């Protein structure tokens, strides 16, 4: 009509406008199934859920064909989230089985939901009983879907039952080859890993046609937990796509297996690859930095924590406190601690342990009292290890006995073998070796190697060869491969001049194929590079200058009254040879290199893997007197802060 009007010269007829007072078009009403689904998802109680179940059964003929099994599966999911009902209400599992049985013929989708319900709400192996009941009741009439086998594998993992994991694997294979479905394969890998059979998990991975990042990462984490970082590296290298979780598994794996340098390298590569940094990966890097005692790395880690906003996280903050304390920066650890808005028992425990390791026993005890009185934070077993360690390092026997009693009487914490270790160390260092032995004999728990090791260490300090032999006998049974125990006994006997007994211990070491761990001291240079020095080392490129500086230092110190502590050498050799061996100790080499390379007025920080010997302690203390420098040595027992000819340990270590 419009075109005809234009052809004849008439104007087009006006188009009518819709009235403005009419309502807008309405959306189609929600379906009955969607209304029921919303009601099930928000159901507040079991009676309400059972009412919805009855309604669903009555409305079943009016619902689309696939809706009922799906709605019933959602009903089971909601049932799993509700609190357990009180008797005489039927148990949730019985009701869940009744929900499954309300459909005829049996539905495989609902069977999978029932198994998932059993896994979420019942003891782990109950899922297998439910599965067996379904098989007996329905046989071939109930074909299982692939995802029905994941609850079986997960239940086996929860039970840490290797036979159950193998059973889940077997039935998934026998009932249709469902072991070749990726989510089932990943569940089986998780089950084998949880049960400690990394080999079986790796076999599942190797046989997978399509692997995803979950598959690869599970195996990497499993090898890390089993201390096989070589295999973890191999699998990680094969992983085609490395996400944040895979990188985090490597960082934490290295850190947990005492490979801090590699952990920090992996963390740096992870950051360089553009991966987001989360709490777990950052905590792993913090742990590695704490092990290494590297100050410049610690500052770098702090910057990353601040940039990512994780520095305010209580877990990360607690780790930073521990890291700075172990890097020798106890004042920086205190600054981080004081700046934290949220503190928990782990934060306080980290600070108390840090203060204790630096010899600040009074500060550690004051913080403990502030924690329980003003902050109203309940201490745990780690907190008391820190308090007792503080008492031990300061020789505070009376205070140690008081807090050991308070732990049980006031806070209800039963002393563990680790707490007894602290008390044995406290008594033994104070010269109360026999009392320490009596305490071991009266222990309410079985003493582990740490307890007997603390007693043996006390015997080394005070020259008690009789008790040393008793402690060593227990250690040789508990830790037959622990080379340090043999060395400690040998050194104790050597200091007492019992060379025939020393020969017997060294012969036993040879028979058992044990070799002494080399003494190694680490020093972080200005460029952040960590230099390692071994006792008697001649491989460092600066060794000529290092030895020249040491000889000059020794000459200066002898003028100041330095007399070598020859008893620190436990070999039956001449005094001249003993003095030569003492000059090759690793901490002296690290100290000499530090004096050569660091700017004046800088602090020198040295990390040693073994206890510092008496001669090196005296030597370094006197160096701090003739050189205007602070020297911080972290050995395997504690920190020593040398300044102006004094040490923070007060000669008690």
**H helices of 395-432, where?**
397-409, 417-429
The long-range contacts involving 61-65, CB below 8 angstroms and separated by at least 24 positions, are 62/32, 63/32, 63/33, 63/36, 64/33
List CB contacts of 562: < 8 A, sequence separation 6 or more.
554, 618, 619, 622
Whether 381 and 416 have beta carbons less than 8 Å apart is answered as: yes
- CA torsion angle for 456, 461, 462, 468 (degrees, to 10)? 20
Say how far apart CA 335 and CA 354 lie, in whole Å: 13
Q: What's the CA gap between 360 and 354, in Å, rounded?
A: 9
Number of Cβ atoms within 10 Å of the Cβ of 136: 8
Q: Is residue 311 part of a domain?
A: no
Shared domain for 643 and 538, answered yes or no, is: yes
Say if residue 143's pLDDT is above 60: yes
Residues 502 and 548 in one domain: no
A 10 A CB-CB count for 375 gives 13
Confidence (pLDDT) at 16: 46
For the entire predicted model, the pTM comes to 0.76
Q: Are 223 and 232 in contact (CB under 8 A)?
A: yes
For the chain, give the percent of residues with pLDDT over 70: 94
Domain boundary among 512, 541, 572: 512
Domain membership of residue 568 as a residue range: 521-647
Q: Which two tokens stand for residue 309?
A: 């906003």
Angle of the 92-101 helix axis to the 46-59 helix axis, nearest 10: 0
Q: Are 496 and 526 members of one domain? A: no
Enclosing H/E stretch for 183 = helix 182-194
Distance CA 111, CA 118 (A): 11
pLDDT of residue 85: 60
User: How far is it, in rounded angstroms, from Cα 314 to Cα 350?
Assistant: 12
Contacts for 234-241: CB closer than 8 Å, 24+ residues apart:
235/202, 235/205, 239/213, 241/213
Question: What is the DSSP annotation of 335-355?
Answer: HHHHH-S---HHHHHHHHHHH
Whether residue 478 is contained in a domain is answered as yes
Cis peptide bond prior to 88, omega within 30° of 0: yes
Selection from 577, 588, 580, 579 nearest residue 540 by Cα:
588
Same domain, yes or no: 526 and 602 = yes
- The mean per-residue pLDDT over the stretch 204-221 comes to 87
491 & 585 share domain:
no
Q: What does the block give as tokens for 623? A: 């160096």
Checking if the pLDDT of 384 tops 90, the result is yes
Q: What is the DSSP letter of 240?
A: S
CB count within 10 Å of CB 162 equals 16
Band (pLDDT 50/70/90 cuts) for residue 9 is: very low
In whole angstroms, give the CA distance from residue 120 to residue 103.
22
On whether both 534 and 445 belong to a single domain, the answer is: no
CA dist 112 and 632 (Å) reads 62
pLDDT in tens, 224-271: 888 899 999 999 999 888 889 899 999 999 999 989 989 999 999 998
Higher pLDDT, 18 or 231: 231
Rg of the chain on CA atoms, in Å: 34
- C-alpha distances in Å from residue 562, one per residue of 545, 592, 619, 620, 640: 22, 17, 7, 11, 19
Residue 323 lies in a domain: no
Half-sphere exposure of 222 (CA within 13 A, CB side): 24
Q: How confident is the model at residue 390 (pLDDT cuts 50, 70, 90)?
A: very high
Distance, C-alpha 91 to centroid of its chain:
38
Asked whether residue 479 falls in the same domain as residue 556, the answer is: no
Phi/psi of residue 48, nearest 5 degrees: -65, -40
Strand-pair partners of 606: 523, 633
pLDDT at residue 13 greater than cutoff 80:
no
Burial class (CB in 10 A: 0-12, 13-18, 19+), 74: middle
- Residue 486 placed within a domain: yes
Helix, strand, coil fractions of the chain, as percent rounded to 5: 65, 5, 30
Residues facing residue 643 across a β-bridge: 646
Mean pLDDT of 202-212: 87
Domain end among 484, 512, 540: 512
How far is residue 321's CA from residue 353's CA, in Å, rounded to a whole number? 10
Nearest-angstrom CA–CA distance, 386 and 20: 78
CB 458 within 8 A of CB 424: yes
Pairing mode of beta strands 639-643, 631-634:
antiparallel
3-class DSSP state for residue 394? helix
Do 491 and 538 share a structural domain? no
Residue 571 in any domain: the answer is yes
Structural domain count of the chain: 2
Residue 89 pLDDT grade (very low, low, confident, very high; cuts 50, 70, 90): low
| Res. 501: pLDDT tops 60 | yes
Asked if the structure places residue 152 within a domain, the reply is no
Closest CA to 218 of 209, 210, 204: 204
Which of 456, 479, 512 terminates a domain? The answer is 512
Residues 491 and 606 in one domain: no
What are the tokens at 236?
Answer: 């990680």
pLDDT of 408 > 70? The answer is: yes
- Of 96, 108, 185, which is closest to residue 141 (Cα–Cα)? 108
Q: How confident is the model at residue 178 (pLDDT cuts 50, 70, 90)?
A: confident
* Residue 480 resides in a domain: yes
Nearest to 135 by CA among 186, 80, 174, 179: 174
Q: How confident is the model at residue 82 (pLDDT cuts 50, 70, 90)?
A: confident
Q: How far apart are CA 416 and CA 398, in angstroms?
A: 20
Mean pLDDT of 59-77: 79
The span from the CA of 69 to the CA of 115, in Å, is 14
Most confident of 65-74, 93-102, 352-361, 600-609: 352-361
Compare 39 and 10 and report the one with higher pLDDT. 39
Q: Whose CA is closest to 270, among 294, 291, 245?
A: 245
Q: Are residues 525 and 640 in the same domain?
A: yes
If you search the block for the tokens 């934070």, which residue do you land on?
Answer: 377
User: Are both 468 and 531 inside the same structural domain?
Assistant: no
pLDDT mean over 92-115: 87
Please check whether residue 379 is in contact with residue 352, taking contact to mean a CB–CB distance below 8 angstroms.
Answer: no
Mean pLDDT of all residues belonging to the chain: 87
Tell me what the mean pLDDT of segment 194-222 comes to: 89
In a domain, residue 229? The reply is: no
Q: Are residues 479 and 534 in the same domain?
A: no
Strand ranges of the sheet holding 604-608, from the earlier edge strand across to the other edge: 530-534, 520-524, 604-608, 631-634, 639-643, 646-647
Rounded CA-CA distance 200/192 in Å is 6
């Amino acid at each position: 009509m419009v075109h005809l009007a234009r052809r004849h010269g008439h104007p087009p007829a006006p188009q009518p406008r819709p009235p403005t007072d009419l309502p807008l078009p309405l959306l189609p009403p929600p379906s009955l199934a969607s209304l029921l689904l919303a009601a099930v998802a928000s159901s507040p109680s079991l009676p309400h859920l059972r009412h919805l179940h009855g309604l669903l059964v009555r409305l079943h003929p009016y619902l689309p064909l696939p809706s009922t099994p799906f709605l019933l599966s959602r009903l089971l999911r909601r049932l799993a989230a509700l609190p357990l009902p009180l008797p005489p209400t039927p148990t949730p599992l019985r009701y869940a089985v009744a929900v499954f049985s309300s459909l005829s013929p049996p539905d495989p989708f609902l069977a999978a939901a029932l198994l998932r319900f059993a896994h979420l709400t019942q003891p782990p192996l109950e899922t297998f009983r439910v599965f067996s009941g379904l098989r007996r009741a329905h046989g071939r009439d109930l074909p299982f879907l692939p995802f029905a086998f994941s609850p079986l594998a997960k239940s086996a993992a929860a039970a840490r039952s290797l036979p159950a994991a193998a059973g889940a694997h077997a039935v998934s294979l026998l009932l249709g080859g469902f072991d070749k479905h990726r989510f089932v394969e990943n569940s089986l890998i998780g089950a084998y890993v949880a049960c400690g059979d990394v080999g079986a998990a790796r076999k599942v991975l190797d046989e997978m046609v399509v692997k995803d990042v979950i598959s690869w990462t599970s195996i990497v984490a499993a090898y890390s937990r089993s201390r096989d970082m070589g295999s973890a590296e191999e699998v990680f290298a094969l992983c085609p796509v490395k996400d944040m979780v895979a990188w985090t598994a490597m960082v934490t794996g290295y850190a947990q297996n005492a490979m801090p340098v590699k952990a920090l390298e992996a963390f740096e590569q992870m950051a360089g690859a553009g991966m987001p940094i989360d709490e777990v990966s950052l905590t792993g890097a913090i742990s590695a930095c704490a092990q290494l005692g590297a100050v410049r790395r610690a500052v770098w880690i702090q910057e990353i924590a601040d940039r990512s906003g994780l520095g305010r996280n209580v877990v990360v903050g607690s780790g930073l406190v521990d890291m700075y304390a172990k890097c020798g920066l106890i004042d920086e650890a205190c600054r981080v601690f004081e700046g934290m808005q949220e503190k928990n028992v782990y934060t306080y425990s980290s600070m108390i342990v840090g203060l204790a390791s630096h010899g600040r026993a009074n500060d550690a005890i004051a913080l403990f009292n502030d924690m329980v009185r003003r902050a109203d934070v309940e201490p745990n077993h780690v907190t008391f290890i820190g308090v007792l360690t503080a008492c031990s390092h300061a020789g505070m026997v009376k205070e140690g006995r008081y807090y050991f009693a308070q732990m049980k009487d006031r806070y209800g914490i039963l002393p563990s073998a680790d707490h007894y270790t602290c008390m044995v160390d406290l008594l033994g260092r104070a010269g109360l070796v026999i009392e320490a032995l009596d305490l071991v004999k009266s222990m309410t728990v079985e003493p582990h190697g740490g307890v007997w090791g603390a007693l043996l260490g006390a015997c080394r300090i005070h020259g008690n060869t009789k008790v040393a032999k008793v402690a060593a006998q227990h250690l040789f049974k508990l830790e037959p491969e622990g080379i340090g125990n043999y060395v400690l006994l040998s050194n104790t006997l050597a200091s007492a001049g019992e060379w025939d007994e020393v020969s017997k211990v060294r012969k036993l070491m040879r028979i058992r194929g044990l070799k002494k761990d080399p003494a190694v001291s680490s020093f972080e240079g200005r460029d952040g590079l960590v230099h390692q020095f071994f006792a008697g080392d001649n491989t460092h490129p600066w060794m000529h200058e290092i030895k020249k500086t040491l000889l000059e230092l020794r000459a200066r110190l002898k003028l100041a009254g330095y007399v070598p502590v020859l008893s620190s050498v436990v070999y039956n050799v001449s005094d001249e040879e003993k003095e030569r061996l003492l000059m090759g100790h690793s901490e002296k080499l690290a100290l000499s290199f530090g004096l050569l390379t660091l700017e004046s007025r800088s602090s020198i920080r040295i990390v040693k893997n073994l206890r510092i010997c008496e001669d090196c302690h005296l030597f370094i203390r006197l160096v701090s007197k003739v050189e205007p420098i602070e020297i911080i040595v972290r050995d395997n027992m504690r920190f020593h802060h040398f300044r102006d000819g004094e040490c923070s340990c007060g000669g008690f270590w």
